Amino acid sequence: MDNNYLPNGYDPARDRATLEAVRGEADEWTRWISEAADDEQRRQREVSCAQVLIDVEAAVRSYDAVREALPVLSVLLGSDSPELRAETANLLAWFPEHATTSVPLLEAFIAGEASPGAAATGIVALSLLGEPATVPFIRRYLDSPTVELRWASAFALTRFGMFFLSGSYISLATMALAATSEATTLRGVDAVLVRTLGPAGQAGVPTERQPL
């Protein structure tokens, strides 16, 4: 999931509304093009308007194409590759319209997943579907002995307004790391946060390529 959509998830209705708004401005665009000072400016305005429409239509059509294929793609949660399993879990998070189907799939995936990174991705993906009924399932991982799952649970619960410390993603990650080995130093925790949140402090989900 793109960081721009964390922690609240993606709302496809926004892109659909944008498309309808753009289509509804056709008369204004025609008038704006006709008011061009010369042929060159007119062509530039025509190209600009056409590109805006192409972009917003592409966003909606691409989403719908993947949405139709989601039942087939979801079987990849059982792939032999932990990276592919994690990516599939992440994919399901983009389609809240399929929450009824995706929630039980993700819960079963998380419960049986051997890879901490993939399971953590699944927990965050589950929260991004926005179903309050998933909170008890997500909350149980706050007490997990696995650091990735504690972090994922704490972060995922922010989707439902549960900020456990200051409300910042870094504080949530720090809480998830608090029960690590006594040998953990502040420098070590800082290094983990950099890998987890990125140098700019942006939240991300630990994966197999970002071992904790």
Residues of the chain with confidence (pLDDT) below 70:
1-7, 162-212
Task: Determine if the pTM surpasses 0.85.
Answer: no
Q: Is residue 120 part of a domain?
A: no
**Closest C-alpha among 172, 166, 165, 164 to residue 196:** 172
pLDDT of 210 reads 37
Torsion of CA 183, 170, 190, 208, to 10 degrees: 80
Burial class, 172, CB count within 10 angstroms (exposed 0-12 / middle 13-18 / buried 19+): buried
Contact 126, 134 (CB under 8 A): yes
Looking at residue 156, the DSSP 8-state letter turns out to be H
Give the domain range for residue 32. Answer: 6-70
Q: Is residue 100 part of a domain?
A: no
Q: Is residue 59 part of a domain?
A: yes
Q: Is residue 137 part of a domain?
A: no
pLDDT of 7 reads 64
Q: Is residue 165 part of a domain?
A: no
Q: Is residue 57 part of a domain?
A: yes
pLDDT of 13 reads 84
Q: How many domains does the chain have?
A: 1
pLDDT of 181 reads 47
Q: Is residue 148 part of a domain?
A: no
Q: Is residue 11 part of a domain?
A: yes
